[in-house]
Amino acid sequence: MQLPRLPFTPEQASTVSGEVDALYTYLVAITIFFSVLVTALIFYFAVKYRRRSENELPQPIAGSVKLETMWTVIPFLISMTIFVWGASLYFTLYRPPKDAIEIYVVGKQWMWKFQHTEGQREINELHVPVGAKVKLTMTTEDVIHSFAVPAFRIRSDVVPGRYTYAWFEATKTGRYHLFCTEFCGTNHSGMTGWVEVMEPTAYQAWLSGGGSDSPAAQGEKLFQSLGCATCHRTDTQGRGPVLTGVFGKPQRIQGAGDVLADEAYLRESITNPAAKVVEGFQPIMPSYQGQVSEEQLLQLIAYIRSLGAPDQGTTMTNAGAGQEEPSTTTGIAPDAQRSNPLGPTSPNQMQNNTSTPGGLSPQGRRSGGTGGGGTSQTGGNSNNR
């Protein structure tokens, strides 16, 4: 629905901007109508029922059930139309479509940093194709910000330690302002930028202009440098859960039932691994809070998302995830394959595990690489997800 925009409002440049303006037009019309009606009735009753002499006594007026029913039912129906319309628009705005282009956004005092899935990076400027659905996965490195593009009628708070989402589909090429609409410090007013909406061919040409590795490729390098591959192996013999195909699937958590492995879950798994431990594994993974930036967290999540299904010759499902227990073609019991089985650890195993930093034998450290991120403990600890 594309209605003429209200005075003093920005240009309509997205598929939802007309719907948002239509709802606001409805609200403004209701406000004006009842404001005029109430004001007129006040003057009418003030004149009609004025006191004409000092000795005049007003006649008592009996109540009207019909009148009271009308002024109860009519406002209720109007309020319900506002609720239903607003709720429908809310779900449209805050439920990103599955086929959308994904872009990662990190807010920071006082700039917006963007990274496309192809690897291109931008600061305070975002290039998108016209007519394409675009999903923004957003977080912040410091304080609360709020990402807003008035021409698209979108606004979403960006909260530390969380991922928030917004999406839009631009309908016109052009250059549109983006703002931070949450006071975030002394230079809040300067935390602005532009969204450049381009024709699809021009956008593809811009993408081909070069850029860094994709977030998934950067996440894979980080995954190896932090020593995550030491414990999160693909053959069920690691001390942490297999991450292949885990994204978007339920994970059985100790004492908490099933939890969906989405972006928020993976972020918590990295920064606070003891919060939710996958059933069948021990809470031995260290926290990487403060060791990886928000951009690096998004890259690690992009890499885990990119991992496909397990090989056909091996069934690798995390224990207790609402699926069958891990089994391999070797016929060896899964617990026997883990380096940290749930059964008691023998003194010899304990001595071997504590002989080097991180709890791995020298052979284990060589096979998985040394820890990165500026700490010596990352080389031999597992992810508990």
**Model confidence over 210-223: pLDDT tens digits?**
667 888 888 889 88
The pLDDT-based confidence of 321 (bands split at 50, 70, 90) is very low
Can you give the pLDDT at residue 72?
Answer: 93
Can you give the pLDDT at residue 65?
Answer: 87
Whether the per-residue pLDDT at 45 is higher than 70: the answer is yes
Nearest Cα neighbor of 121 from 104, 99, 109, 146 is 104
Q: Whole-angstrom Cα distance, residue 76 to residue 81?
A: 9
Q: Which helix (H) or strand (E) is 359 found in, with range? A: none
Can you give the pLDDT at residue 116?
Answer: 92
Q: Which whole number is the average pLDDT over 356-385?
A: 37
Can you give the pLDDT at residue 50?
Answer: 84
Can you give the pLDDT at residue 229?
Answer: 82
Nearest Cα neighbor of 180 from 90, 103, 112 is 112
Q: Which helix (H) or strand (E) is 22 found in, with range? A: helix 17-48
- Kindly tell me the sign of the dihedral angle through the C-alpha atoms of 225, 231, 232, 238: positive
Q: Among 45-59, 129-143, 242-256, 319-333, whose mean pLDDT is lowest?
A: 319-333
**More confident site: 271 or 324:** 271
Contacts with 153 (C-beta within 8 Å, 6 or more apart), sequence order? 12, 14, 16, 17, 20, 21
CA 181 to chain centre: 18
The pLDDT-based confidence of 98 (bands split at 50, 70, 90) is confident
Q: Whole-angstrom Cα distance, residue 18 to residue 35?
A: 25
Contacts with 266 (C-beta within 8 Å, 6 or more apart), sequence order? 247, 300, 301, 304, 385
Which of 86-119 are b and which e, b meaning 16 or more Cβ less than 10 Å from the residue's Cβ?
A: eeebeeebeebeeebbbbbbbbbbbbbbbbbeeb
Q: Whole-angstrom Cα distance, residue 135 to residue 105?
A: 10
Q: What angle do CA 274, 276, 278 make, to 5 degrees?
A: 105
Q: Which two tokens stand for residue 122?
A: 């931008």
Average pLDDT, the chain: 79
Can you give the pLDDT at residue 361?
Answer: 37
Whether the per-residue pLDDT at 352 is higher than 50: the answer is no
Can you give the pLDDT at residue 15?
Answer: 93
Pick the CATH number of 215-327+334-340+367-380 from 2.40.30.170, 1.10.760.10, 3.30.200.20, 3.40.140.10: 1.10.760.10
Q: Do domains 101-207 and 215-327+334-340+367-380 have the same CATH topology?
A: no
Whether the per-residue pLDDT at 233 is higher than 90: the answer is no
CATH class of 101-207: mainly beta
Domain boundaries along the sequence of the chain:
1-46+66-93, 101-207, 215-327+334-340+367-380
Whether the per-residue pLDDT at 124 is higher than 70: the answer is yes
Q: Whole-angstrom Cα distance, residue 29 to residue 19?
A: 15
Percent of the chain scored above 90 by pLDDT? 40
Question: Residue 314, Cβ neighbours under 10 Å: how many?
Answer: 16
Nearest 10 degrees: Cα torsion 178, 183, 185, 187:
40
Kindly report the length of the chain: 385
Q: Among 38-52, 267-281, 308-322, whose mean pLDDT is lowest?
A: 308-322
DSSP string of 211-280?
A: -S--HHHHHHHHHHHTTHHHHS-SSS-SSS---TT-TTSEEEETTTEEEE--HHHHHHHHH-TTSSPBTT
Can you give the pLDDT at residue 246?
Answer: 87
Whether the per-residue pLDDT at 381 is higher than 60: the answer is no
